[in-house]
Amino acid sequence: MSADVLKNVTAADVPLPRQRSLRSFLAIPQGGFGVGLLLLLLALVVVGPFIAPDSPNEISDQPILGPSAQHWLGTDSYGRDILSRVLHGGASVILLPLLAVSAAMVVATLVGLVAGYLGGKVDAVVTWVINIALAIPSYLAVLVVVAAFGGGGAVVVTAVAVVYAPYITRVIRSATQAIAPREFVLAARARGESLGWILFREITPNIGPTLLVEIALRFTYAIMFIASLSFLGLGVQPPSANWGVMVAQNRALLLVSPVGVLVPALLIGVLAIAVNLIADALTQFFGDRIHERLMV
Amino acid sequence: MTTTQTARTDGDLAAEGLSVGYRARGGLTQVLADVTVTLHSGQILGLAGESGSGKSTLALSLLGYRVSGQETLAGRVAFDGRDLDGASIKELRKVWGARLAYLPQDTATSLNPALTIRRHFVEGLRRHRGLDTAAAVARSAEWLARVEIPEPETALHKYPHQFSGGQQQRIALALALSVEPEVLILDEPTTGLDVVTQAHVNRLIVTLARDAGIAALYVSHNLALLATVCDELAIMYAGQIVEQGIAAQVYAAPRHPYTAALIGAVPTIASDRPLHGIPGIPRPSVPVHTCGFAQRCTFRTDACETDIPLVALADDRAARCIRLDELPTFDPSAEHTTAVVVDRATAAKDLDAILTVDNVGVVFARPGSGEPFVAVDDVSVRVPAGRALGIAGESGSGKSTLLRAIAGLVRPSSGTISYRGAALASTAGERPVALRRAIQIVFQNPDATLNPRHTVYQSLERPLKLFRPDIAKRDRRDAVAAMMRQVRLAPDLLDRYPRNLSGGQRQRVAIGRALLAEPEVLLCDEVTSALDVSVQASILELLVGLQAERELTVVFVTHDLGVLRAVADEAIILQNGAIREAGPTTRLLREPTHPYTKELIAAVPDPDRAAEFLSGGS
Amino acid sequence: MTQTAQQAGRPRATRAPRRLPYLVRQLITLLVTLFAITIVIFGLTAIAGDPARDILGQYATDEQVAAFQQLHHLDQPVVVRYLEWLGGVFRGDLGTSYQSNGPVWDVISPRLGPSIVLVLLSWVLTVVVSVPIGLWSGVRLRGRRDASLTFVTLIVAAFPEFVLGLMLAILLGVWLAWLPVDSTAVSYGGLFDSPSAYVLPAITIALGTIPYIIRLMRANAREVASETYVRAAVLRGVTEPSLSLRHILPNAAPPVVTALGLQFAGLIGGVVVAETLFGFPGMGQLLAQSAASRDAPVVEALALMIGALFVVANLAADAIVVYVTPKLRDAVR
């Protein structure tokens, strides 16, 4: 694809490590704000189930009530307390994307390092597979998987991991390729260092910043993607309390009680924003330009 | 404060007591202090300085161009009696390109890749000279012909990338001159080009600028070049002009200790004087209440700790040194009388070859095209033990590829490389430990030669782990520290990361890393080309010293014939991957036989033979 | 350890064969890709096993299951089914829906028009909004206002389309009541009989890609603006708008054009979500519904059509990029 034609990642795009503190990271507006938001949300998700007034699937009152003193966010069409469901519904919104991204990262980092460093036939095969995988729109791929295997958390996590792995591999491979011809790697080759030493001791520490940015960015996308799939009824299945599922279910209440839809929807947005701000701050912090170059 | 030139004629561009700083993140960094220069019509003023001296800032400031955050702290830039600093962007845009022209540094990017040459020219000629398109095109073709671009009419319809780097820079020169400006600012206009191309472009610059009666400023780090092509010379150090005068006089009889030291650090091919580095690194900031050069100066006294004015020595000569009255006029050429110059090449023939390269060829598949690229073409050479072989050539001559083939980093397509008579495996990984130890390599780029994620100690310890089982683990730190002293580095740098070291220090670490393996052969790939000339001289001094001391065999790749002369006993000249000439370095440079060698030598600027250089040498 | 020439490739003495023109090579690659997509799609459905039980429900009789399997040729080997399906595609027969038991084409065809209009609308919206803003902010905008724009794009970019759409629906549909929150109207009457029903879905889809394109355009414009040749142009007296439009845009645009081609994939996600959210009777809604109801033939047909569109969009983007980049024009010959 044309991305390859224009792709001219150079060593200058792979950030060099700089001596900078956590404080200077937080001093970047995006960094401080993003970390703050994320901590707040994590607190909500962790503490939420303990402070929720009702259990998430308990039919506690009349259906479709507007906000009141008893039900701050009203009740849904089954008469469940929306606030309680919101307080319970965050864990899967965070955990499923985290699982998908972790799985994809591990595989993609290994493949990307090896293909990027060795080049030649190994790289040709990997590149070929990546190019084909990238030619399939992510939504399409995941929807095909769901059509074949049925929906649900496990299927969606696996599908998203498989769909994201080629994107991550491409980034890691390019970063590796930019580092591999650098002279300290040549020096290691001239010394006759082992493949493992070169990959993990010479190259990996230098693509660390790129990896971090990649994790944050990919996590943002995964949160949005998996939440959207849950919204479409393909991810987490009802009656589980999950913000995405709640938006889909409470959409019918839009005209009656918009708060019940808006709150879970906004929480998903805020979560993705927090991680996205962190990703952007990391990009600035390290001066990473690979992602911009590869148009991810 | 003394202003050297006050009288100006119309059309002259001048900086008067200019001080400039950059404001970033609340802090102010001053980069220029009290700079006074005047450009005169028909004359070229050379501005020499090492990296960070502020010379590029001065070049842009003279145009009234300010990068974001830049502030004028004192003084002014005057053009035609008017203040350029206070001029509005609208006024500036009428002057830029029309009366003040600029030729930027990066040859490959001075022209817009998306526009044809024609559009570059026509835009300016229409705007500034009011020509219609047909007249503008005719004028452009004329100028392309004057900068010796073949088939100017066809060339106009091409894009920049369809020309070579030298051609692009000649086009950029024509573009600047075509609007007939009064002033031309040249910022390192030939850096990055090959020597022969550099010489060609420089000849054109000088000829055309003088013909047009333009007032020009030529900014460069290359002192010998400036002394050759310029009328006047100003030497910058730490944001100040430290010496200024007629070019030939400044070069032949410097008055400021920095100028003298700088000249002593420039490798030349003409004289036998040994190189002397300047200790320390260039001062990164503008000095306050002290002489900027004091830290590195041999003649420093307590009196130097004050603001030093630029003192006029004559109408056309000034220097910024408190001890001008006490210090003698330096004579850079005098040193060779005291130095012992050994013609080491004489006995080389009798020595055994430690390294033999037999009919080696390296061919690369060119990505994106079917034509394979012959990087090294059937090269045979023998390197006598304990001697230094220099490999010289322009970029693309295959010199680095040949060196990398010897190091086992590039697989030769044909031929053999032998070490002490036994053929070496093609790649380092296939060679036994003893051979990997015996042949060590040092690379060009100080920014990349050390792993940025490893401390200096980690980098230096590695060869000990791999190659020196005789040194016990607990003794490694001592061995490393001893090596640090040998390469003249303080052992307390050991726990630092490369980012905290200067370029010269990193190259010293890289040399130390190679030497810790106790090699027989040291391969050096342009190890000084990215360094400032004063630092380069120190590294070369160190290398030559270590080579003699350890009886090392050195193979030294360089594009700089002066450096070749400083380090190599014997030399080969490569062009397009093939050997053009080989022999003892001194003889090769004094009595070249191959036309290509002659061309290379003629392209080296030599202030003593300026007329010859400007007329085209041989 | 394996030693490979990292930069220039392994030394090779052989002469490479003559190469086909770049775009022809790209076309072949893309056709191969499309072919691979069909195999992947079909392979996945095959791995998943027989869907008859899942679709008919656990109370279906064995006869019902057998009849279903026969109707959809599920009793035949995968390879045969794949070849039959592929042959059908070339004849214009996309198979039989598991759900309607009628031809897939009949399910899809009424939804083609509205979706294509919607996608074009969102795509045009993306281009006219993001390219000028991106270019302007990259060349001109600095300091606090630039940081604010970045912040806004980051925030909008992190909202999933369904959240954005929902907020738009509440704001423009419920509170201000300017636009219908439900786009079902599109399925009645002609393609352009209810234009207002397109607005909310189109904005929602476009908002999914606009922040990304703005950021890319801005970053590229800024990088080009700091190039030596732009500084040289400024110092030759070149003024706006010539500086931005003639000197910067042509150099900054190619990656954005490529991205606009690639963003077609992003649009697909947006289309699926927005159509579902607003009840817009298009291919995206059908895709989500069919995936949920495991109607594999419909999903396969849609995937093939969307995949083909995606491939064409990328090929077009490639062609434009090559056309506007003189260096590439020479390099790809």
Which residues on A lie below 8 Å from B429 (Cβ)? 189, 192
Q: Nearest by CB to A145, from C34, C44, C269: name it.
A: C44
Q: Quick one: DSSP state of residue B41?
A: T
Q: Check if the beta carbon of residue B351 is closer than 8 Å to that of residue B387.
A: yes
Secondary element (H or E) of residue A150: none
Q: List the alpha helices (DSSP H) in B96-218.
A: 117-129, 133-146, 152-155, 165-178, 195-211
CB pairs under 8 A between A and C: 208
User: Rounded CA gap, B516 and C96, in Å?
Assistant: 75
Record the tokens describing residue B381, joined without a space: 């050479």
- The residues that bridge with B71 in the sheet, in sequence order, are B21
Q: Are B380 and B358 in contact (CB under 8 A)?
A: yes
**Chain C nearest C-alpha distance from A227 (Å):** 8
H or E element in which residue B572 lies: strand B570-575
Handedness of CA C281, C285, C286, C289 (dihedral sign): negative
For the stretch A227-250, pLDDT in tens is: 888 888 888 887 778 888 888 888
Q: Which of C1, C235, C325 sits opposite B429 (nearest CB)?
A: C1
Structure tokens at B561: 């014939």
Percent of chain C whose pLDDT exceeds 90: 10
Looking at residue A249, its pLDDT comes to 81
Give pLDDT, residue C89: 82
User: In the beta sheet, which residues pair with residue B79?
Assistant: B13, B82
pLDDT mean across residues, chain C: 81
The verdict on a CB contact (< 8 Å) between B114 and C235 is no
Q: Tell me which long-range contacts C106-112 makes (C-beta under 8 A, separation of at least 24).
A: C107/C286, C107/C298, C108/C283, C108/C286, C108/C298, C108/C301, C108/C302, C108/C305, C110/C187, C110/C281, C111/C281, C111/C282, C111/C283, C111/C285, C111/C286, C112/C283
Helices within B48-164 (DSSP H only): 55-62, 89-95, 117-129, 133-146, 152-155
Query: What is the pLDDT, as a whole number, of residue A20?
Result: 64
**For position C3, what pLDDT does the model report?**
35
CA distance C90 to A149: 27
Q: Among A146-150, A216-220, C129-133, which stretch is predicted with the lowest mean pLDDT? A: A146-150
Contact B36/B5 with Cβ under 8 angstroms? yes
CB distance C216 to C283 below 8 Å:
no
Mean pLDDT of chain A: 84
- What phi-psi label fits residue C177: left (phi over 0), alpha (psi between -120 and 50 degrees) or beta? left
Tell which residue, A262, A233, A228, has the closest CA to residue C166: A262
Q: Do the Cβ atoms of A215 and A286 come closer than 8 Å?
A: no
Q: How far is C131 from chain A (nearest CA, A)?
A: 15
Q: Does the pLDDT at position B339 exceed 70?
A: no
Least confident of A246-260, B541-555, C126-140: A246-260
Per CB-CB distance under 8 Å, the chain B contacts of A187 are 441, 443, 449, 510, 513
- Relative to beta strand B372-384, strand B317-319 is unpaired
The structure tokens listed for C242 are 């010539």
Q: Which residue has the tokens 């008859």?
A: C52
pLDDT of residue C310: 81
Q: Structural domains in chain C?
A: 22-91 (no CATH), 110-331 (1.10.3720.10)
Distance CA B579, CA B601 (A): 16
Helices (H) and strands (E) in chain C, counts: 14, 0
- How far apart, in whole angstroms, are the C-alpha atoms of residue B404 and residue B407? 5
Q: B459 falls in which pLDDT band (50, 70, 90)?
A: very high
Under a CB-based contact definition with an 8 Å cutoff, are residues B357 and B417 in contact?
Answer: yes
- Judge contact between B597 and B588, C-beta under 8 A: yes
- pLDDT tens track for B194-217: 888 889 899 999 999 888 889 999
Cα angle for residues B256, B260, B261 (degrees, 5° grid): 115
Give one DSSP letter per residue of C113-133, joined into a string: HHHHHHHHHHHHHHHHHHHHH
Alpha carbons A292 and A281: distance in angstroms, whole number: 14
* Structure confidence at residue B523 (pLDDT): 96
Q: How many CA atoms within 13 Å lie on the side-chain side of A114?
A: 12
Q: What is the mean pLDDT of residues C189-198?
A: 74
Domain locations in chain B? 353-448+522-614
Instruction: Quickly state the pLDDT bin for C6 (edges 50, 70, 90).
Output: very low
Would the CB atoms of B445 and A205 count as touching at under 8 Å?
no
Contact (CB, 8 A) for B257 and B298:
yes
Q: Is the dihedral angle over the CA atoms B218, B221, B223, B225 positive or is it negative?
A: negative
Task: Select the highest-mean-pLDDT range: B41-45, B89-93, C60-64.
Answer: B41-45
Q: How far are the Cα atoms of B171, B218, B229, B314, C152 from residue B46, in angstroms, in the given order?
A: 22, 5, 8, 19, 49
Contact flag C30-A231 (C-beta cutoff 8 Å):
no
Residues of chain C with Cβ-Cβ distance to B107 below 8 Å are none
Helix (H, G, I), strand (E, B) or coil at B257: helix
Average pLDDT over residues A169-182: 91
- Which of B66, B91, B112, B427 to mutate against chain C (most C CBs within 10 Å)? B112
Residues B382-413 have pLDDT tens digits of: 999 989 999 999 888 999 999 999 999 999 99
Q: Which chain C residue has its CA at the smallest distance from B64's CA?
A: C235
At C22, the amino acid letter reads Y
Q: How far is B136 from chain C (nearest CA, A)?
A: 15
Please give the angle made by the CA atoms of B563, B564 and B570, to the nearest 5 degrees.
155
The pLDDT confidence band at residue C41, using thresholds 50, 70 and 90, is confident
- The lowest-confidence range among B185-199, B262-276, B343-357 is B343-357
Pairwise CA distance, residues C46 & C24, whole Å: 33
pLDDT at residue B341, as a whole number:
41
Structure tokens at A185: 């790697």
Cα–Cα distance for residue pair C273/A232, rounded to 1 Å = 7
Residue B272 in tokens: 């036998």
Do residues A260 and A82 touch, judged by C-beta distance below 8 A? yes
Q: Which residues contact B129 (CB under 8 A, 6 or more apart)?
A: B98, B136, B139, B179, B180
Query: Residue range B451-465: average pLDDT?
Result: 93
Q: In what order do the strands lie in the sheet with B521-525?
A: B439-442, B521-525, B553-558, B388-393, B570-575, B578-584
> Which 278-317 residues of chain C touch chain A by CB within 8 A?
287-288, 290-292, 294-296, 299-300, 303, 306-307, 310-311, 314, 317
Judging by DSSP bridges, how do beta strands B414-419 and B388-393 pair with one another?
Answer: unpaired
The contacts of residue C116 (CB under 8 Å, 6+ apart) are: none
A258:C299 CB<8 A = no
- Tokens 């800024």 locate to C222
Res B455: pLDDT: 92
Q: C165-190 pLDDT, tens per residue?
A: 888 888 887 778 787 777 777 776 66
Mean pLDDT of A165-187: 92
Q: Which two tokens stand for residue C163?
A: 């959240």
Enumerate domains of chain A plus CATH numbers.
27-45+73-290 (1.10.3720.10)
- Testing the interface with A: which of B453, B465, B555 to mutate, by most A Cβ within 10 A? B453
pLDDT tens column, B111-129: 998 899 999 999 989 988 8
The full DSSP string for A215-251 is: HHHHHHHHHHHHHHHHHTTSSSPTTS--HHHHHHHHG
Please tell me which residue of chain C has the smallest CA distance to A217: C158
Backbone angles phi and psi of B263, in degrees to 5? -65, -35
The amino acid at B130: G
- SS3 call for C68: helix
Query: Closest Cα of chain B to C16: distance in Å?
Result: 5
The reported pLDDT for the residue numbered C177 is 75
Q: In Å, what is the CA distance from B184 to each residue of B13, B20, B77?
A: 10, 21, 15
Give B124-170 pLDDT, tens digit per residue: 899 888 889 999 999 999 999 999 999 999 999 999 988 888 889 89
Question: Is beta strand B27-39 parallel, antiparallel or unpaired with respect to B13-24?
Answer: antiparallel
Using CB atoms, list chains with 3+ pairs below 8 Å to chain A. B, C
Distance from CA of A55 to the nearest CA of C (A): 25
- A87 and A51 in contact (C-beta within 8 Å)? yes
Considering the domain delimited by B353-448+522-614, tell me its CATH architecture.
3-Layer(aba) Sandwich (3.40)
Residues A17 and A49: beta-carbon distance below 8 Å:
no
For residue B498, the Cα-to-chain-centroid distance in whole angstroms is 22
